[in-house]
């Protein structure tokens, strides 16, 4: 359809109810009233420098009335993105409906992908995201598997599990060739919905779609098993995965280590950490921290201190909570030398102990009576509160 039909039809992009544009924006908008020929890239420059997002709608309406009106995808994308940053989602819907209905220019999959992301991530308009996906073939634009998978993942994130299946079944009509990523998203949704049996049945779908399960597939299933306390089944799945020639990554091992820690099986978690290293899979902060928390949960403070030393030697720093817990446990056991080592590492890392922690350390060295003479009780209570606040500030900046 000729772009001029947008004007002939007498329909305009909905003008927002707002104050008049600023004097700066007015100067830029006046360029659209001149009779000089303006190329689409010049219109894009005007829209880009407008300060008030409301002026973007005015600019589009003025441009629409020009004889040289010939918009392109880049122009609409610029306008939509600027409106999205201003959280003006209703005008975006107006623009999308108009350009899709009137077809003033050719649009690509990337254009629709961008719009769908705005509806899903920024506006929370999930129905509009789905409708946009479904409407794409009507305008000779077939969604890519990336676009299709984004919508599936969006629905899983919103826990709209019934709708996930509906959209997946629509795939063939949209010309989608299902890939491993698509099936992994379905597995994640089934696991989140508590349908583990159905999630495992999805493994049979991979050969039907001419694709293979990958490390993400198995990691997702392991996470679902561990969330339900089925850690042994998850470990068995690790063996199956390796037998099928799929190499586990750090995330895979971390899922199992975390599952073992929650079941107070810290010895097995430590063994798995060593197995991880032997497989050439480098542990990260999460790997070490889960094992450290497991030792702390069991009150094994000396081992925790030694494990901290191993962590630090690899360039990974323990958390503030870990330091605080280790120092507290070592103080109760009167292991002043170990406390000194941990305290030095803590300070080297940039954590500053407050009076409450010093009091705990001194209590392990002196009697309570002597300590009260040195630090008045009210001062200690105030310091303890200060330390707690400092810890929260460190954890939740």
Query: What residue ranges do the domains of the chain occupy?
Result: 214-298, 323-397
Q: Map the chain to HEC letters.
A: CCCCHHHHCCCCCCCCCCCCCCHHHHHHHHHHHCCCCCCHHHHHHHHHHCCCHHHHHHHHHHHHCCCCCCCCHHHHHHHHHHHHHCCCHHHHHHHHHHHHHHCCCCCCHHHHHHHHHHHHHHHCCHHHHHHHHHHHHHHCCCCCHHHHHHHHHHHHHCCCHHHHHHHHHCHHHHCCCCCHHHHHHHHHHHHHCCCHHHHHHHHHHHHHCCCCCCHHHHHHHHHHHHHCCCHHHHHHHHHHHHHCCCCCCHHHHHHHHHHHHHCCCHHHHHHHHHHHHHCCCCCCHHHHHHHHHHHHHCCCHHHHHHHHHHHHHCCCCCCHHHHHHHHHHHHHCCCHHHHHHHHHHHHHCCCCCCHHHHHHHHHCCCCHHHHHHHCCHHHHHHHHHHHHHHHHHHHCC
Per-residue pLDDT of the chain (397 residues; tens, 9 = 90+): 444 333 333 345 555 544 555 666 777 788 888 778 888 899 899 999 999 999 999 999 889 888 898 999 999 999 999 999 999 999 999 999 888 778 889 999 999 999 999 999 999 999 999 999 999 998 889 999 999 999 999 999 999 999 999 999 999 999 999 999 999 999 999 999 999 999 999 999 999 999 999 999 999 999 999 999 999 999 999 999 999 999 999 999 999 999 999 999 999 999 999 999 999 999 999 999 999 999 999 999 999 999 999 999 999 999 999 999 999 999 999 898 999 999 999 999 999 888 888 888 888 887 555 445 545 554 444 444 444 444 334 333 3
pLDDT 10s digits, 210-251: 999 999 999 999 999 999 999 999 999 999 999 999 999 999
**Is CATH 1.25.40.10 correct for 214-298?**
yes
pLDDT for the residue 169: 96
């Amino acid at each position: 359809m000729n772009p001029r039909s947008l004007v002939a039809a007498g329909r305009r992009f909905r003008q927002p109810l707002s104050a008049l544009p600023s004097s700066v924006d007015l100067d830029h908008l006046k360029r659209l009233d001149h009779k000089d020929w303006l190329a689409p890239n010049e219109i894009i420059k005007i829209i880009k420098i407008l300060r008030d997002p409301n002026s973007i709608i005015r600019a589009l309406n003025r441009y629409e009335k020009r004889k040289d009106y010939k918009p392109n995808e880049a122009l609409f994308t610029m306008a939509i993105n600027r409106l999205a940053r201003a959280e003006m989602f209703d005008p975006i819907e107006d623009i999308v409906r108009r350009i899709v209905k009137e077809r003033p220019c050719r649009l690509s999959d990337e254009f629709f992908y961008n719009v769908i992301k705005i509806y899903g991530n920024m506006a929370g308009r999930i129905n509009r995201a789905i409708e946009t996906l479904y409407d794409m073939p009507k305008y000779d634009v077939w969604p890519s598997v990336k676009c299709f998978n984004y919508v599936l993942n969006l629905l899983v994130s919103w826990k709209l599990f019934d709708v996930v299946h509906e959209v997946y079944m629509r795939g063939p009509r949209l010309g989608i060739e299902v890939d491993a990523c698509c099936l992994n998203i379905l597995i994640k949704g089934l696991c989140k919905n508590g349908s583990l049996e159905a999630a495992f049945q999805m493994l049979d779908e991979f050969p039907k779609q001419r694709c293979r399960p990958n490390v993400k597939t198995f990691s997702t299933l392991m996470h679902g098993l561990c969330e339900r306390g089925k850690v042994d089944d998850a470990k068995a799945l690790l063996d199956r995965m390796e037998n099928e020639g799929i190499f586990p990554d750090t995330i895979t091992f971390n899922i199992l280590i975390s599952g073992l820690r929650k079941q107070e099986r810290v010895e097995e978690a430590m063994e798995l950490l060593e197995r991880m290293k032997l497989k050439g899979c480098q542990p990260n902060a999460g790997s070490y921290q889960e094992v450290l928390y497991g030792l702390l949960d069991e009150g094994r403070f000396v081992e925790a201190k030694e494990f901290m030393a191993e962590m630090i030697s690899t360039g990974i720093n323990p958390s503030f909570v870990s330091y605080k817990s280790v120092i507290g446990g070592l103080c109760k056991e009167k292991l002043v030398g170990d406390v000194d080592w941990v305290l030095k590492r803590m300070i080297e890392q940039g954590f500053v102990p407050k009076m409450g922690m010093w009091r705990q350390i001194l209590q392990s060295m002196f009697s309570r009576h002597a300590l009260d003479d040195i630090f008045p009780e009210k001062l200690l209570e105030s310091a303890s509160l200060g330390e707690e606040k400092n810890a929260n500030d460190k954890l939740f900046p």
